[in-house]
Amino acid sequence: MRRLHPLSGAVSVGRGLLQGAFFGVIAGTTLAGLLGLPAWTGPLMIPALALVLGGFALTRYYRFTYEIEGETLRVESGVFARQSREIPLGRIQNVDSRQGVLNRLLGLAVVAFETAGGNATEATLDAVDKGEAERLRRLVQRHGEARAEPETEASAVTGEAGDKPSPGPADDSPAHTDTQELFDFSMRDLLIYAVVSVRPAAPVLLLVGLPLGIDALLTVVRFNLGLVGGPTTVSLAVLDAFGPPRLVAFALLTALQFLLAALVLSVALTVVEYYDFRLVREGDDLRYERGLLRRYSGTIPLSKVQTISIRENVAMRRFGFATLVVETAGYNGGNGETGQGVAIPMAPREVVYGLARDIEPFGDLDFDRAPTRARRRYAARFAIVVGVLAAVGYAVDTVLLESGYWWLLLGLFVLVPPAAHLRWRHRGVTLDDDVLATRTGFWRQTTRVVPYYRVQTVFVGRSPFQRRRDLATVTADTASTSSIFGGAARAYDIDDERAAQLRDVLRERLYTDLLARKAGRDG
Partner 1 sequence: MESLHQRVRLLWAGRSALGGLVLLGLAVVVDRFFVPLPLQVAVAGWVVLAALGAVHALFAHRIWRFSLEDDSLFLVRGVVTRTDTSVPYVRVQHVDTTRGPVERTAGLASVVVYTAGSRGADITIPGLRPDRATELRERLRDLAGESEATDAV
Q: Residues near 28 by Cβ (< 8 Å), separated by ≥ 6?
A: 41, 42, 43, 44, 45, 46
What CA–CA distance (Å, rounded) separates 182 from 491? Answer: 31
Closest distance between partner 1 and the C-beta of residue 412, in Å?
Answer: 28
User: Of 306-325, which residues contact partner 1 (CB under 8 A)?
Assistant: 306
DSSP state of 318: H
What CA–CA distance (Å, rounded) separates 249 from 23? Answer: 51
State which residue, 50 or 326, has the beta carbon closest to partner 1.
326
Choose, by CB under 8 A, the member of 477, 495, 498, 505 that binds partner 1.
Answer: 477
What CA–CA distance (Å, rounded) separates 209 from 206? Answer: 5
Interacting span for partner 1 (CB under 8 A) from 308-316, 359-367, 430-438, 478-486 = 478-486
Choose, by CB under 8 A, the member of 280, 315, 460, 505 that binds partner 1.
Answer: 460
Alpha helices in 336-415 (DSSP H): 349-359, 372-396
Element spanning 445, H or E? strand 444-451
How distant, in Å, are the alpha carbons of 98, 283, 333, 341 from that of 125? 11, 25, 19, 20
Choose, by CB under 8 A, the member of 481, 491, 494, 502 that binds partner 1.
Answer: 481
Choose, by CB under 8 A, the member of 99, 438, 447, 480 that binds partner 1.
Answer: 480
Closest distance between partner 1 and the C-beta of residue 352, in Å?
Answer: 24
Interacting span for partner 1 (CB under 8 A) from 181-189, 206-214, 313-321, 461-469 = 461-469
Work out the end-to-end distance of the chain between its first and last CA atoms, rounded to an integer number of angstroms: 38
User: Of 200-239, which residues contact partner 1 (CB under 8 A)?
Assistant: none
Q: Is position 300 an interface residue for partner 1 (rule: CB under 8 A)?
A: no
Phi/psi at 186 (nearest 5 deg)? Answer: -85, 165
Q: Is position 453 an interface residue for partner 1 (rule: CB under 8 A)?
A: yes
Closest distance between partner 1 and the C-beta of residue 310, in Å?
Answer: 20
Interacting span for partner 1 (CB under 8 A) from 42-50, 270-278, 403-411, 453-461 = 453-461
Q: Residues near 345 by Cβ (< 8 Å), separated by ≥ 6?
A: 185, 193, 197, 274, 277, 323, 339
> What does the radius of gyration of the chain's CA atoms come to, in whole angstroms?
29
Closest distance between partner 1 and the C-beta of residue 456, in Å?
Answer: 3
Q: With helix as H, strand as E and coil as C, how does 173-230 read?
A: CCCCCCEEEEEECCHHHHHHHHHHCCCCCHHHHHHHHCCCHHHHHHHHHHHHHHHCCC
Strands (E), 229-365: 278-282, 285-290, 295-301, 307-313, 321-327, 342-348
User: Of 375-414, which residues contact partner 1 (CB under 8 A)?
Assistant: none
Q: Is position 518 an interface residue for partner 1 (rule: CB under 8 A)?
A: yes
Q: Is position 517 an interface residue for partner 1 (rule: CB under 8 A)?
A: yes
Per-residue x/- marks for partner 1, 485-504, CB under 8 A?
A: ---x-----------x--x-
Q: Is position 38 an interface residue for partner 1 (rule: CB under 8 A)?
A: no
Closest distance between partner 1 and the C-beta of residue 218, in Å?
Answer: 33
Choose, by CB under 8 A, the member of 309, 478, 494, 502 that binds partner 1.
Answer: 478
Closest distance between partner 1 and the C-beta of residue 422, in Å?
Answer: 25
Going edge to edge, which strands form the sheet with 278-282? 123-129, 108-115, 92-99, 295-301, 285-290, 278-282, 179-184
Interacting span for partner 1 (CB under 8 A) from 233-241, 310-318, 387-395, 462-470 = 462-470
What CA–CA distance (Å, rounded) separates 98 from 337? Answer: 12
- Which residue ranges make up the site for partner 1 (CB under 8 A)? 116, 304, 306, 329, 453, 455-464, 467, 475, 477-481, 483-484, 488, 500, 503, 507-508, 510-511, 514, 517-518, 521
